[in-house]
Amino acid sequence: MTLVAPTATRLEVARAYAISKLGWIREQQRKLTSQARETPRKFVNRESHYLWGRRHLLTIVQKEGKPFVALDHKRITLTVRPGSDAAKRGKVIHEWHKGLLHDQVQLLIQKWEPKLKVRVRGYFLQRMKTKWGSCNHRAGHIRLNTELVKKPKDLLEYVIVHEMAHLIEPTHSDRFIAILDKHYPSWQEARAELNELPLAAEVWGE
């Protein structure tokens, strides 16, 4: 666990603050530990895959050439070379997910920078086992879990606003809560919904 505090904060003040939040911290750790996890995907025909909160069935097409993914209303078609294993198929899907996320994340950052009066100097998409996002407020960077591509888009927006708010206030202080209350009043409902949804299986195949 890491506590972020302004550089002028005395050590004893920071320590007292951390102790006062121990109950909340332990409760969040318990929730994350017990949160449902998806069963590992096998990337086979008619397997269920979620995209932006909606269920799609996977179709596998095997043919020579560069692998690619296509999406229609209710189906994700993954075209791969013959003999590809689950790890290879998963990697192709993961890269496709990242591309979809990049498109949405860029639009949402552009939307919220003027509202929050902050600037995101960079963002990163990666698999994260226990977090939906994180923020490095000193560098101006935010980091987002690629599993968010499977969740409704409004929940992705909530996570982005949450992490961008940390560029203003790095801790979960009353000031931070006030920022969310002002700019994203439904944040508590979004957080509760997100925390009920499954994280990915811990076996990544990589």
What are the structural domains, with CATH classification, of the chain? 11-196 (3.30.2010.10)
Q: How far is it, in rounded angstroms, from Cα 174 to Cα 27?
A: 19
Distances (CA, A) of 112 to 10, 37, 57, 146, 174: 33, 30, 33, 20, 21
The pLDDT of residue 130 is 83
C-alpha 201: how far from its chain's center? Answer: 14
The pLDDT of residue 68 is 96
The pLDDT of residue 73 is 83
Q: Give, in degrees to the nearest 5, the angle at Cα 206 between 94 and 155.
A: 35
Q: Give, in degrees to the nearest 5, the angle at Cα 31 between 27 and 32.
A: 120
Q: Which residues contact residue 101 at a Cβ distance below 8 angstroms, ignoring those fewer than 6 apart? A: 125, 144, 146, 148, 149, 156
Closest CA to 149 of 135, 128, 118: 128
Q: How far is it, in rounded angstroms, from Cα 21 to Cα 192?
A: 20
The pLDDT of residue 28 is 53
The pLDDT of residue 205 is 29
Q: How far is it, in rounded angstroms, from Cα 42 to Cα 16?
A: 48
Q: Which two tokens stand for residue 191?
A: 């957080």
165 and 192 Cβ atoms separated by less than 8 Å? no
Which parts of the chain have pLDDT scores under 70? Answer: 1-38, 200-206
pTM: 0.78
The pLDDT of residue 6 is 58
The pLDDT of residue 174 is 96
